Structure 1
Amino acid sequence: MQSLTSAIEAALNTADPRAKCFATRDVARRWRRDELAWQFDVTMPDHPARPEAPELLPPTQMPRRGKFGSARAQIALWHSLAHIEFVAIDLALDMAGRFGAEMGEEFVADFLYVAADEAMHFALLDRKLRSMGSHYGALPAHGGLWEAAHTTRHDVTARLAIVPMVLEARGLDVTPATLERVKAAGDDNGVKILTRILDDEIRHVGFGTKHFLRCAAKQGKPPESLWKTLVQRYFKGSVKPPFNDSARLAAGLSREFYAEVAL
């Protein structure tokens, strides 16, 4: 029987986007069916495989999208969302494979569930791009999204604090405004996609918060102050309003965590 980490590593090292989606869903499916051995005999790669396109650029070099009403700006929006979801597949896979032995089976199950969701989100967004005459890889993309994972590769508590509870939580904040723009443009299909992603991301942030709280309890530290310490240490950006307080609270992330660190 193949080991859990061997299957996860194979998915992480799959560069082609569609093949990565299939590999990720297959790992999650085989885990649910007890077809993977609980063995952590393979080390996760520091950097997962990437396709030749899109070109990855520093945030300061990313071209501006322009006004949302233009076809070019709309394609740029959907492309940026597709890239976020593509990297999110690897973030969830790495979480399960890198920290699963330490954190246990529920942790692995939660983050393989997240990985399968992200693969589905990417597939929806790539299909959306193709319906608009484009595809993933047609435009440059943000090159820094994996940095938070690499920086926190030694510490599961820090990884949980930064990836689900800062980066994914930010998605909860910005998606409603994007939804309104897409709705105003009369894009019903886009509205359905974003609504599905928002609903799923609340659950994903909830998984991260749940396991972070368990880490804090194990360390005997107040979770809010521990989170703030880790954010200050490992997150290079700032935690900025506006916040989607209702979505964050639904994910277990109360204002006690982030109000004082918001800039």
Structure 2
Amino acid sequence: MKYYDQLESNGYFLYKHPDVTIFKRNITQFLKATTESIIQLSNFESWKSGKFFHKNIDLIDLISEIHNQEIDNSITKVLYELFPCTGKILSLTTAPLVVKILKEAQLRFPVVGSLPLVRLDRPNDSKYETPWHQDFWFSFLSENAVTLWFSLGEITESMGHLKMVPGSHKWSAGKFFTDTNGHPIAYDGVVDESQVIRINPGIDEILVFNQKLLHASGTNISSRTRVSLQLRFNDLGSAKSLVSTFVPIHTEYVKTMQKISNE
């Protein structure tokens, strides 16, 4: 079955190619180097010795070690905020491999639906665990909008595999509510666990799914931080309106500095 046929039928497909392995390796190497640079520029004195930044350390092991020794997520929250702001991560939206995958998904005029997201799911941190939801809630623009999802290192079962309901992209649009953790996108419906699958793309695979597909984060009960990357795209070729679904906003830092400057 061709990739597009799988997307239409099941709501997702796994794009498999040797180039994906190289693609992921380049990203992880960049993020490792970025992590080291952020540490060197920061006030995290205990980390500036660089003892954890040896060449062969896995990105997930590195971030997990940082999390195990940090206080109040002081370092990983900086990494989470700054990773998507780097030119390398922003440029992934136009990477040749990504463009090729979007053609397989038959998006006629793909446009970025939101900024790239590098998720850091810390162990036993249920506050940021994403419940059942549809990414379509973030745009409502094109029925064939897709999300590209892949891990940046090995994800064991105890770290939490992504959960999905195949074919749920064909269901009528669900209602949503804000859950007890403050997620404004939680699915207001009953999910039949017998229909749920858990998916863990291989090192040479990228998961592509329709943004109406119901999915949820797996629970990370391990001692390691789960690291994944998401790219979301709308299709102007089938869009309900010629608009953008997100706009940049100033951070609290900027708002605070603006206020101070006017005092």
TM > 0.5 between the two? no
Structure that is richer in helix per residue: 1
Higher relative contact order (CA 8 A, sep 6+): 2
- Bigger Cα Rg: 2
Structure that is richer in strand per residue: 2
- TM-score, normalised to structure 1, is 0.26
